[in-house]
Amino acid sequence: MHPRSEEMNFNERTAPLSERKKKKIAAFLEDCRKKAKTSIRECNYPGCNEKAINSHIFQKNGILSSIAKDRHLIAHDIDFYNNHAYTFKRVGINRVFSFDCFCAKHDSELFKAIESVALDDLNFDCYENCLLFVMRGVYNELNSKSEVVRFFKFLIKDESGLFDKTKLMASLMGNMYGKKDVTGYSKAFWDDLSNGTEKFVFRVRRMKRLELCLSSSINYETTDELVDYRMKNSKGMERLAPVFINYFPLKDCSLLLFGYYKSDYDKISGYIDMFFSCDEGLAEVGVTNLILFRCEAWVCSEDFYLKKIKSVENYFDLAANYASKNTNERHLLPLNLFSSDFEKQIKGILGKI
């Protein structure tokens, strides 16, 4: 579980907390996080009640192993004991970018088409291949939102008075809405696989190779637009416009893969075309903004971390803080993780916000 930083500011108070109380709160939050993770999960394949096994969002023996050093990658999380700061950890390849998703039988059968072929030989013009790449990322998000919902429910039950329950309820409701939205998208995937409905469009672009893997989804709508949407949705307004995002390295480049509903293109075309119809520099800025401000499910190689992140690690906290307050998420900051002067860019821009 990786709750967004804006959901973790529970103990903002006018009076400073003692170090002892801070540690007590951190221990309680960590305990709630562990409890939220411990429920037994069934396979997500429709109609299957078998226990889910641990699945990797991307292929362990292929995409992840190609950038792993000594079978480890760098992942990030929130450290409750360090003022809810982001921390980067070296994690073994068996555990990184993984979650309980499908039973052994369905995990093997469902993804055979994309896991039995060498990665660089995969046909990304094939609709089903693209759909399968997107599916695990969406189910990881559904899993994460389910855990965050349980996490906030544990906190709301607490009677210590340490937390502002109004804020907790707002975060709980936001994640429950999000879980409902993602559940709807997953049902559309199964309809595609079963009936060949092809509700989605998939776009692919080969970009400069970064030793970084990202699999996430975002809503096209900004926070301001979401508030308006939630108010109208109870009266029958249509669903949100999701964008499913994958970025991962091949042998000589990285592949950017977007998916979205066909019916949403007129609405979101300007945003989508920025990534696929504009020059690569603008696409790189777009991907950088996704990594810094909008997508949490990403990991990178140790070499990439040392080269690009370690010296500016504290600025990722500033990025999370900016994201928590920004209500126009489609606005891009001129930051380019692909460029040689990224360190100068992030210090100059986020250091002034």
First to last CA, the chain: 28
Show me where the domains of the chain are located. 5-350
pTM for this model (two decimals): 0.89
**Integer Cα distance of 318 and 204 in angstroms:** 31
Q: List beta partners, residue 89.
A: 75
Contact (Cβ atoms closer than 8 angstroms) between residue 240 and residue 220: yes
Q: What is the pLDDT along the chain (353 residues), one digit of tens a residue?
A: 444 433 444 444 434 567 778 888 888 899 999 888 876 688 999 999 999 999 999 999 889 999 999 999 999 988 887 776 788 999 999 999 999 999 999 999 999 999 888 888 889 999 999 999 999 999 999 999 999 999 999 999 987 777 888 989 988 998 898 899 899 999 999 999 999 999 999 999 999 999 999 999 999 999 888 877 666 665 545 678 999 999 999 999 999 999 999 999 999 999 999 999 999 999 999 999 999 999 999 999 999 999 999 999 999 999 999 998 999 999 999 999 999 999 999 999 998 87
Burial class (CB in 10 A: 0-12, 13-18, 19+), 224: exposed
CB 153 within 8 A of CB 1: no
Contact partners, residue 54, CB within 8 Å, separation at least 6: 94, 95, 98, 99, 100
Side chain identity at 61, as an amino acid letter?
Answer: N
Distance, CA of 144 to CA of 124 (rounded, Å): 27
Q: Which two tokens stand for residue 77?
A: 């999380």
What are the phi and psi torsion angles at 78 (to 5°)? -100, 130
